Structure 1
Amino acid sequence: MHVAHLSLHNFRSYADIDVALEPGVCAFVGRNGQGKTNLVEAIDYLSRLSSHRVASDAPMIRAGAERAIVRASVVRDGRTAVLEVQMNPGKANQARVNRSPLPRAREIVGLVRTVVFSPEDLTLVKGDPSDRRKFLDDLMMLRTPRLAGLKADYDRVLKQRNTLLKTAGNARRGSASQEGALDTLVVWDEHLARLGAELLVERIRLVDALRPYLGKAYQTVARGASRDDADLAHKPSFDLSDAIVEHAAIEAALLAEIERRRKDELDRGISLVGPHRDELVLSLGSTEARLPVKGYASHGESWSFALALKLASYDLLRSDGDDPILILDDVFAELDTQRRAQLAELVSGAEQVLVTAAVPEDVPAALAGVRYRVGDGAVTREEDGSP
């Protein structure tokens, strides 16, 4: 899989730009602030309908513009498809495939697959649990695009349930408005438990599938490490036996916990139980003495773990039969010489690798390929991408 052509309209710093791309390595080189990352961010956005840099669409729309359009020609198994997303602030986004509108924008998720390496990856290790949940859910939806609908349905139910909790919690005890809200809340409890159980099952399966790839990747990028040194585990927001993996059993356990925490939820006006409060626990060390990466790992170990997570994602997606597009966004400036060489060697065989760098020297020799100069609002292809 590779992107053969990228067109942007009012996306970030670009009013209009068209860039022809090649399989193999495409390196975008230019000073900071010239728009290198904007190019690869657009491709990643087509993959997941989200950015690795910001949490909402608004910052990606050019100042003063009403909407932005990202369009790419994607080649997969010898066939070309044109994917397009129109970003509409305050309204639903629109997506098209070969100029035919999709019923919902989220149906474009997974038609092009990307794995991004960037300085922001460190938040996977040092950031909030929400960063790790997003990592899991993005990977889950890339592997199985229909799960984007499940996640959207869960988020909708969660929002509605939180509104009811606030209404019931603020109403006078025993009043008609409180009783009505509590009666309605029971229905939304069931919706949350059903959808939450589905989401939990998928996350548990994903963590189990990712674990062996993580160990192998960490052994590769960390000096002197073995494949048993790195581990990850899914930790639900409530006690759940490791033996419980079936949807019906998880749904029943989730519903029981919701009922147990009813008073706390009404007092706080938010849902305290469900996948939206789960954690992905990352740990290092021998099986007998594992420690959480967050708070215990050195800066170098944290970087190695973050890189290993992304490499494991790439290998897992490849095991599904696809070769995702790899995006290395200004990542080499953050690595020492040995890790640069290791990472470059690991990814050099991908069908397409998109690299951004401030100076040519930041692009390892193993990733020589087509080079583009980015500056003054223009993207210019150079004749020779070799160092």
Structure 2
Amino acid sequence: MIVEQLSLVDFRNYAAVDVTLGSGANVFVGRNGQGKTNLAEAIGYFATLGSHRVSQDAPMVRDGADAAIVRMRLAYGDRRVQLEAQLNRSGSNKARVNGAAVKTAELPRYAQVVLFAPEDLQIVRGDPSSRRRFADQLLVQRAPRMAGVLADYDRVLKQRTALLKSARARGIRGDALSTLDVWNDKLVQLGTDIIRARLALARALSVPVAEAYTAIAGEDHRPELEWALSIRGGDPEDDSDTPASSRPLDQRVGDGTTEADEIQAQFRAALADKRQSELDRGLTLVGPHRDDLVLRVRGLPVKGYASHGESWSVALALRLASAQLLRAQSQLGDPVLILDDVFAELDVDRRARLAGLVGGFEQVVVTAAVENDVPDALRARTVRVVAGSIVVETALDTPGDAGD
């Protein structure tokens, strides 16, 4: 899959701009604050319906405008698809595919993008929510139906938590809150789907993460991924340094119980055990919203033990492994790989190794403040960005192809 054309109207610091991209490596060069990362952010939006920098859409709308328009033409071999997203400062966003109106949730079906940025260091060093977000975004890209499951779980979670807060205010205790059981059933059903999908994802990532880490770091530090599940006791959100045990679940255990049955049984038992604590605190204390993806190197948690270089290598390995998973299962071709201001954070050896690893993808988009930070192998096509304008565009393989 290749992004051939990107057009922005009132997006971030761009009043209007059109950028032509080619296969292979495309480098956006510009000093900090000029708008190069905004271009990467716009491409990534179609895959996740969100930004890697902010949690809301409003900051992506240019100051003084009511809405931003992002258009992207994708090529899958000989096939072309035009995607359009209208990001409204207030109200629901709108989307089009080849000019026809669609639900915005349909856009990720057409665009697969893996974006790595300095913010991704929070995946390995930040709180559990950063790791859950990483996993869930990848789940949706691999199986778009998971977007609905995650949204439904979030809705049930909010309603159940509101009920707990109301019960706490009224002094209701123990089994007196019978309506809680109805929400428990919904929470368990949806939560089990999410837990199973996350466990399967960790298993699928295990080998490609280890291979990518060794290739980037130049050493085998035995990187590992393991979900710490709140349904198994403990609370990763309250004490992420001592996560709950998360032994791998087989698809079918010895007594014939399926993985789903085992998870549901543990989930219900944990809810029963935490019932009074939840009423006392007015919070839902058990479920995938409180789980953590534990990352280790050399047998130790990355968070709190890994060096800066090791942490960067783990974060990069997670993204590269994600790209490998999408590449292996996609009928759209390779995902577009974006490296946003990454090379400045790496030493010379890691830069060269990373360039070698990504060079085989159909399209790689790189942003950099200093062009020389980018290895020569990735500098065939360069777009220079100054204050929201494309002022120079060179393409060594297609001379004369100029942008706006």
Tell me which interval the TM-score lies in, with the shorter structure as reference length.
Answer: over 0.9
Residues 116-164 of structure 1 show CA distances to partners (whole Å, capped at 9, x for unaligned) of 1211121111011000011101111111111111111111111111111
Normalization by structure 1: what TM-score?
0.92
**TM-score scaled to structure 2, two decimals?**
0.88
Task: Please report how far the alpha carbon of residue 100 of structure 1 lies from its aligned counterpart in structure 2 after TM superposition.
Answer: 1.6
208, 213, 230: which one aligns with 1:213: 208
Q: Deviations over 1:327-349 (max 9, x none)?
A: 01110111111111110111112
Contact 1:29 1:372 in 2 (8 A): yes
Q: Which of 337, 348, 353 is matched with 1:337 structurally?
A: 348
Deviations 1:75-109 (A, max 9, x none): 1232111112222234222222112222x322222
CA distance 1:244–1:89, shift in 2 (3 Å): farther
Answering whether residue 357 of structure 2 is matched by residue 362 of structure 1, we say: no
Pairing 1:77-116 to 2, within 5 Å after superposition: 77-102=77-102, 104-116=103-115
Letter in 2 for 1:276: H
CA contact (8 A) 1:370 1:381 kept: no
Partner of 2:241: none
User: Residue 66 of structure 1 contacts residue 89 of structure 1 at CA under 8 Å; is this kept in 2?
Assistant: yes
Give the SS at the match of 1:112: coil
After TM superposition, the structure 1 = structure 2 runs for residues 54-133 of structure 1, keeping only pairs within 5 Å, are 54-102=54-102, 104-133=103-132
SS at the partner of 1:238? Answer: helix
1:184 is aligned to 179
Q: Give the match for residue 166 of structure 1.
A: 165
Q: 1:384 deviation in Å?
A: 4.5
Quote how far apart the aligned CAs of 1:241 are.
Answer: 5.9
Q: State how far apart, in whole Å, the 2-side matches of 1:383 and 1:299 are.
A: 35
Distance of aligned partners of 1:88 and 1:382 in 2 relative to their CA distance in 1, 3 Å threshold:
closer
Does the Cα contact within 8 Å between 1:193 and 1:252 map onto a contact in 2? Answer: no
- Pick aligned residue for 2:285 from 254, 272, 283: 272
Residue pair 2:124, 2:295 contacting (<8 A) in 1 also: yes
C-alpha distance in structure 2 between counterparts of 1:38 and 1:304, whole Å: 25
Corresponding residue for 2:188?
193
8 Å CA contact 1:12–1:61 kept in 2: the answer is yes
What amino acid is the match of 1:231? Answer: E
- 8 A Cα contact 1:2 1:325, kept in partner: yes
Equivalent residue pairs, number: 374
**Structure 1 residues without counterparts, runs of 5 or longer:** none
Q: Is the 8 A contact 1:7 1:19 kept in 2?
A: yes
Distance across 1 between alignment mates of 2:387 and 2:310: 38
- The answer for the alignment partner of 2:276 in structure 1 is 263
Taking structure 1 as reference, are residues 224 and 61 closer, same or farther at Cα in structure 2, changes over 3 Å only?
Answer: same
Specify every segment of 5 or more residues in structure 2 that has no aligned partner in the other structure, as ranges: 233-245, 252-258, 398-404
Aligned to 1:299: 308
Residue in 2 aligned with 1:374?
Answer: 385
Cα root mean square deviation, aligned: 1.8
Deviates more, 1:129-138 or 1:48-57: 48-57
